[in-house]
């Protein structure tokens, strides 16, 4: 059973790659044929087998031999792994609608994370449908009130920073992303998500400064940390929350 989720994850991951690329170039996401970004050759089905085509072609385009980014197989593998881990959380029972909601949220998170990392941008085109879906999810799981407070906490926190710093510390995209995340995670998990994101952000920041890649105060894609930690929270949120509550003595 896990293998089915893994293979579906590889295929969806390959679709997410295309979506990330086309959201940037402005092409249609679903109907257009895939092309090589270098030579624009239309790719055949054999060029598009997730991970395997990349390995088989040695990470190069079949037609122009230019390098293909390792982002492609990596995202396919990450998506596949997330699918298996999430399905495991639900004991591989796909009749649970919450599973499908969370699966779609993971896909949204992957797209937002990679897109913000590459372009320092969180698109409304992604946030809007995501937030509508998160609203339906909050209503369906009867945690809409918590979701709304979650928005106040996450978006409110970012909005405050945005206005104090006049957009230097954080982008307005993060404020909007807080709506999507607040609805999904509510209060407890929402606060932990914030903590976790700042922790990961700080670690990455320190590592980059140590490696001389960034200067103190230079820009980091915070949406990437938030959605990366969002995936962790979707997969392990309950465990992390109870660990944290134990830690502070509840």
| Residues engaged in binding Zn ion (CB under 5 A) | 36, 38-39, 61, 63-64
On whether the CB atoms of residues 134 and 105 are closer than 8 A, the answer is yes
Tokens of 189: 């998990």
Q: Cβ 212 to Zn ion, closest distance in Å?
A: 33
Which of residues 61 and 114 has its CB atom nearest to Zn ion in the complex?
61
Please report where in the chains the tokens 């970004």 appear, as a residue. Answer: 37
Return the biggest CA–CA distance within the chain. 61
**At closest approach, how far in Å is the CB of 75 from Zn ion?**
19
Torsion 26-133-118-235 (CA) sign? negative
Q: Nearer to Zn ion by C-beta: 71 or 81?
A: 71
**Cα–chain center distance at 182:** 15
* CA 221 from centroid of its chain's CA atoms: 12
State which residue, 32 or 124, has the beta carbon closest to Zn ion. Answer: 32
């909601």: which residue's tokens?
101
Give me the least distance between CB of 168 and Zn ion, in Å please.
40
State in angstroms the smallest separation of the CB of 47 from Zn ion: 9
CB of 59 to Zn ion, least distance (A): 12
Q: Give the residue with the Cβ less far from Zn ion, 67 or 238.
A: 67
Q: Is the dihedral of CA 84, 6, 68, 48 positive or negative?
A: negative
User: Cβ distance 193 to 230 under 8 Å?
Assistant: yes
Q: Which is nearer to Zn ion, 8 or 27 (CB)?
A: 27
Q: Would you state the structure tokens that stand for residue 83, as one six-digit string? A: 């699918």
Q: How far is the CB of 64 from Zn ion (least distance, A)?
A: 3
10 Å CB burial of residue 72 (0-12, 13-18, 19+) is buried
Task: Report the residue number, 22 or 38, with the smaller CB distance to Zn ion.
Answer: 38
Q: What are phi and psi of 35, to 5 degrees?
A: -125, 160
């Amino acid at each position: 059973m896990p293998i089915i989720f893994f293979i579906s994850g590889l295929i969806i991951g390959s679709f997410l790659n295309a979506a990330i690329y086309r959201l940037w170039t402005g092409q249609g996401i679903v109907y257009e044929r895939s092309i090589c970004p270098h030579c624009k050759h239309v790719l055949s089905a054999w060029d598009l087998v997730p991970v395997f085509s990349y390995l088989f072609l040695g990470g190069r385009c079949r037609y122009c031999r230019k390098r293909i980014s390792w982002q492609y197989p990596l995202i396919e593998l990450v998506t596949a792994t997330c699918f298996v881990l999430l399905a495991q959380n639900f004991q591989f029972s796909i009749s649970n609608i919450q599973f499908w909601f969370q699966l779609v949220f993971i896909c949204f998170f992957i797209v937002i994370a990679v897109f913000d990392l590459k372009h320092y941008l969180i698109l409304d085109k992604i946030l809007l449908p995501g937030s509508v879906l998160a609203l339906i999810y909050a209503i369906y799981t009867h945690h809409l009130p918590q979701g709304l407070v979650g928005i106040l906490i996450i978006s409110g926190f970012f909005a405050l920073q945005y206005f104090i710093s006049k957009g230097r510390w954080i982008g307005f995209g993060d404020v909007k992303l807080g709506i999507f995340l607040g609805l999904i995670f509510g209060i407890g998990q929402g606060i932990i998500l914030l903590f976790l994101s700042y922790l990961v952000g700080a670690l990455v920041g320190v590592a980059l400064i140590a490696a001389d890649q960034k200067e103190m105060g230079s820009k980091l894609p915070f949406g990437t940390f938030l959605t990366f930690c969002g995936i962790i929270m979707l997969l392990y949120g309950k465990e992390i929350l109870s660990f944290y509550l134990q830690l502070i003595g509840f």
